[in-house]
Chain A
Amino acid sequence: MERLVLIALIGSVTAMQMRSVRQEYAVLIGGATAAFLLADTLIRVTGLSDVFLRACGEYGVPSALPGTVLKILGIAYLTEFGVNVSKDAGQHAVAGTLEIGGKLLMLSCSLPAVVSLLETGAALIREAAP
């Protein structure tokens, strides 16, 4: 955690210093710092997601459903990161497009879950009804 805070501080201070000299470098340094922080955090979380997926498998939950939860989480964080970097660079149109892309991707990811939810619900009611 200390390493993350240190990198974030160094990146922010450098980008701030660069802003007065070369604006485009400041954007690049900010983006690189954010990308590094995100990648470092994701590497640490991978172990947790593996445990979660294994536990779901042991319990008999089809791996597609917990996998979808992780995908949604990943898409949401990556899109948010991309949108923030684009906004920092003053590219609001790109940020808007990325946001729409993220939403569509999340929709396409959760559609099988919706189908599975409705199917399981219908199967349960069929099972209970005489």
Chain B
Amino acid sequence: MRNLLLLSLALFIPFLFLENSEEAQDGVDALLKTVDLSEWDDLFRELDVDGTEKPSDYLHEIAQMRGQPFSTSVGKLQEQLLPSVRPAVIRTVLLLGIAVFGAALNGLSDDSAIGENARTAFRITASGIVLVMAFMEIRTALHMLTTIDRVTEILLPAITGFLMLSGMTNTAALLPASYMLLSELVMKTITSCIAPLAVTGGVMLVLDAGSTGKLASAGRVLHRAAKWILATACSLYMVITTIRSVASASADGLLIRTTKIAAGSIPAIGSLLTESVDVAFQCLHFVRSALGLTGCLVLLLAVLKPLLSTIMTCCSFRASAMLAEPLSGKQYADLLRGMGDTLHILMLCGSSATAMALLMIAPVFGSVGGV
């Protein structure tokens, strides 16, 4: 069912990117009416992708945006961005409100021990509030990582199957290998090592607020380790996948050229056959590009909202840290900065995993040896 769905969309998507002509628009409208996009929504519901809008709504919107001025696209993008901005602003105001109450404690005299005790008690309570506020966002970020893995897992058989059908056996063989590398090396490293390290580091930084700073140092070391491991895993994946993609694309290109030469060498009907083979390969290339594009669209739609939410949360924590430092002192600001760093690492994990999944799909719609 999924393969059929993806193939139907593969036929649908190219119309969106054709030049703006009435025929193309009619084709889009006809397809929107006939293609059952509810299956597409079911797939997203199965993935438990966050968001109130259904993917079929997005596709309708994309279709309507064709030929519209650029400002319309920007307006649509703003509509998507604004819902993530409002909670971020409320969060920033709330964190600054806590900083204002912390600043009120600075007014107590330093002679009595009351001031120092109140400031410590405040920092502990503020840490609790910050951790509760970050809890849901960290959960969203962690869920995003599993979503990327599941989306690539679903896309893989559809794309591989089509590549096998179109004779791109080398590129088709590359995909499962790239997926295994992504799933086993990168995603496993991210979910079982980097994310726990980042979250534990963040919790340590928050727990340390108002104490000696040793726990905070350990937290910072964990964050640094998480970043290094992520960078190493990403570099390894990029290098291996790029080499494999180039090799398989060249092999497929060679295969196609050989087929064309072999067809051309047949006496009398050779040139006719070469032209037919050319047309067939061009058609396959067109559908293959559409399939790759659909894969990218699915992945981006699934990841966009949680990634945006994580980015906004990270920005709100960092902005609050910057604004709160002059109000309530360095320790509260450090606490916010620590949580911002944790979300920053999770955001890096999400965006790198998305980039690597896109890199995995990219060879599907790359040109093959100048065919």
- Using a CB–CB cutoff of 8 Å, the interface residues on chain A facing chain B are 51-52, 55-56, 58-62, 65-66, 68-70, 72-73, 75-77, 79-80, 83, 99, 102-103, 106-107, 109-110, 113-114, 116-118, 120-121, 123-125, 127-130
Contact = CB atoms under 8 A, between A and B. Distances in A.
B129 interface: yes
Nearest to A95: B112
Given A52-B101, A124-B131, A69 B122 contact: yes
Interface stretch (B156-164, B194-202, B318-326): B194-202
Contacts of B203: 121, 124-125
Interface stretch (B133-141, B172-180, B239-247): B133-141
A76 B110 CA distance: 12
A108 B150 CA distance: 47
Nearest to A125: B200
A66 B129 contact: yes
A67 to B, nearest CB: 9
Contacts of A66: 98, 129
Contacts of B139: 127
A120 B121 contact: no
B131 A109 contact: no
A66 B114 CA distance: 20
B117 A124 contact: no
Contact of A55 (B90, B109, B136, B138): B90
B127 A117 contact: yes
Given A59-B90, A121-B203, A129-B196, A99 B133 contact: no
A26 B186 CA distance: 75
B91 interface: yes
Nearest to B198: A128
A124 B134 CA distance: 9
Contacts of A110: 121, 124-125
